[in-house]
């Protein structure tokens, strides 16, 4: 999940029998009954091809936890075990099924079409937090275009038909009158939850939460510069599709940081708890590599 390579005490290591150094992987075999060597893991491009997905579809599948990354290669590149790809296929992971699970639609017009409503009504539902984005794009006008899972839109239409027609609920009208927009906060909550679900390491979990806090709040929460350096090294990369153009990247960076005071307090409390646990356990962050496709 991170670029740093700091091995924990008691973490997983590769064990080579004495005297086999420099003789290749086959030297570790001890007799004719030794089983076949495990198949080498594959990179993101190969894994996507074997599952019949495009690079973008595969990246979304990894983000959502449908496909789980394995231990990274020596250089930190993400790898996927053959057993994991087989697990996905054996659990009903046909290409067409996987595509349905990761299909996204962009912006209010596309999402409204899936729901069979007008774009303005969809925008109201999304702003009021009824529908949670799964990603974003920054268009040429530096405006945020939110992405939604098509499958979730269909599920919402089936579960909440009354919200697709008629007058808005009172709570929604109050939010709209206050010009509130819950989409960024809802997306951050989803993004952080997915990242936390991909690691059990306490320092990496702390790094996820630290990455959501504004700089001033982070310095107050983590006064030790060495710990801040460590958390920065363990920080997950930006989401897949994060823009590289500086002007667009500046807009997107704002989406990665908590905004409303109550949201900042929520992530600050989570970081405090994560750091307390990590320090008490004297755990060192383990090397898991970048958890996103490369």
User: Which residue in this structure is represented by tokens 């060495």?
Assistant: 226
Dist. CA 118–CA 122, nearest whole Å: 6
Dist. CA 255–CA 184, nearest whole Å: 6
Q: Which CATH class, in words, describes the domain spanning 40-100?
A: mainly alpha
Structure token digits, residue 251 = 């807009």
Q: Which residues pair with 80 in a beta bridge?
A: 42
Q: What residue segments make up the domains of the chain, in order of their start? A: 40-100, 103-181, 185-281
pTM: 0.80
CB 239 within 8 A of CB 191: yes
Ordered strands of the 144-149 beta sheet: 104-106, 144-149, 135-138
Per-residue pLDDT of the chain (294 residues; tens, 9 = 90+): 444 433 333 333 333 334 444 444 444 444 445 444 557 889 999 999 999 999 999 999 999 999 999 887 777 788 999 999 999 998 877 888 999 999 999 999 999 999 999 999 999 999 999 999 999 999 999 999 999 999 999 999 999 999 999 889 999 999 999 999 999 999 999 999 999 998 889 999 999 999 999 999 999 999 999 999 999 999 999 998 899 999 999 999 999 999 999 999 999 999 999 999 999 876 555 555 454 554
- Residue 17: how many CB atoms within 10 A of its CB? 10
In total, the chain counts a number of residues equal to 294
């Amino acid at each position: 999940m991170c670029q740093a390579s700091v091995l924990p005490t008691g973490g997983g290591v590769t064990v080579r029998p004495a005297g086999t150094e420099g003789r290749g992987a086959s030297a570790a075999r001890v007799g004719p009954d030794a089983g076949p060597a495990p198949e080498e893991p594959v990179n993101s491009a190969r894994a996507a091809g074997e599952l019949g997905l495009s690079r973008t579809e595969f990246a979304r599948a990894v983000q959502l936890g449908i496909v789980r990354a394995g231990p990274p290669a020596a250089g930190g590149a993400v790898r996927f075990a053959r057993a994991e790809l087989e697990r996905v296929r054996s659990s009903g992971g046909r290409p067409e099924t996987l595509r349905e699970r990761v299909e996204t639609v962009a912006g209010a017009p596309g999402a409204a079409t899936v729901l069979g409503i007008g774009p303005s009504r969809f925008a109201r539902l999304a702003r009021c937090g009824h529908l949670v984005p799964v990603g974003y794009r920054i268009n040429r006008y530096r405006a945020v275009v939110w992405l939604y899972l098509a499958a979730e839109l269909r599920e919402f239409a089936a579960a909440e038909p009354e919200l697709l027609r008629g007058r808005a609920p009172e709570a929604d009208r109050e939010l709209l009158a206050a010009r509130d927009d819950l989409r960024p906060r809802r997306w951050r909550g989803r993004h952080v939850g997915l990242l936390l679900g991909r690691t059990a390491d306490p320092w990496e979990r702390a790094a996820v939460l630290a990455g959501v806090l504004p700089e001033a709040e982070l310095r107050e929460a983590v006064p030790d510069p060495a710990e801040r350096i460590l958390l920065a090294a363990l920080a997950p990369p930006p989401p897949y599709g994060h823009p590289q153009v500086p002007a667009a990247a500046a807009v997107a960076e704002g989406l990665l940081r908590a905004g409303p005071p109550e949201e900042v307090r929520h992530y600050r409390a989570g970081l405090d708890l994560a750091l307390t646990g990590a320090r008490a356990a004297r755990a060192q962050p383990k090397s898991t590599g970048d958890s996103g496709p490369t």
